[in-house]
Structure 1
Amino acid sequence: MHVYKTHGTCSREIHFDIVDNKVTNLTFIGGCAGNTLGLSKLVEGMSVDEVIKRLKGVDCKGKGTSCPDQLAKALEEAK
């Protein structure tokens, strides 16, 4: 299990596994429950590279980052 400490978002951590280059068991600690749960369900089973491509750079309220962007960064770090 990978654990990534987020920066600049309401969520505090992202937990996930990578199996055969696919994202599995994704959970966010903190953050907007509906959004992070929805995001987790959407990317489940998606390739790491596809998740990074789709989510990198997504901004939340002008913060320069977001939970999706933090997930992309976590996955890049895990690669």
Structure 2
Amino acid sequence: MRTTYATQGTCARFIDIETDGETVKEVKFIGGCSGNTSGLSVLLQGMNMQDIIQRLKGITCQGNTSCPDQLAKALEAMQTQSGDGEALSQPAP
């Protein structure tokens, strides 16, 4: 499954995610701190979605979220929503 997640509260505006079942194949942040998001993307390739969620959920940078936290939220949304290529975003506060 491939999707684009619209982030909220971070420098990165979107996260492109490709998964194969429960395994993350590729993550690409659009915007944000290039070195950090590129490093995070490489580290996550081949990891289980649930493991990533458990490790990254709740990490903060600005306010109450961060790029890693937004990725965890995107993966949670992918686990609960269906539809290939569907754009995801978290609900407005």
| TM-score of Structure 1 vs Structure 2, range by shorter chain | over 0.9
> What letter matches 1:42 in structure 2?
L
Alignment partners' CA distance in 2, 1:12 and 1:20: 25
The aligned residue for residue 72 of structure 2 is: 72
Once the two structures are TM-superposed, the CA of residue 24 in structure 1 deviates from its matched residue by 1.3
The aligned residue for residue 5 of structure 1 is: 6
Once the two structures are TM-superposed, the CA of residue 20 in structure 1 deviates from its matched residue by 2.6
Q: TM-score, normalised by structure 2?
A: 0.81
Q: TM-score, normalised by structure 1?
A: 0.95
Higher-Rg member (1/2)? 2
> SS of 2:30's equivalent?
strand
Matching of residues 1-79 of structure 1 within 5 Å: 1-61=2-62, 63-79=63-79
> What letter matches 2:65 in structure 1?
T
Alignment partners' CA distance in 1, 2:73 and 2:12: 14
Alignment partners' CA distance in 2, 1:25 and 1:41: 8
> What letter matches 1:68 in structure 2?
P
The ranges of structure 1 where at least 4 consecutive aligned residues each deviate by more than 6 angstroms after the TM superposition are: none
Same amino acid, percent of matched pairs = 51
> What letter matches 1:74 in structure 2?
A
> What letter matches 2:64 in structure 1?
G
For structure 1, the 5+ residue unaligned runs are none
> SS of 1:69's equivalent?
helix
Alignment partners' CA distance in 2, 1:53 and 1:40: 16
For the aligned residues, what is the CA RMSD?
0.7
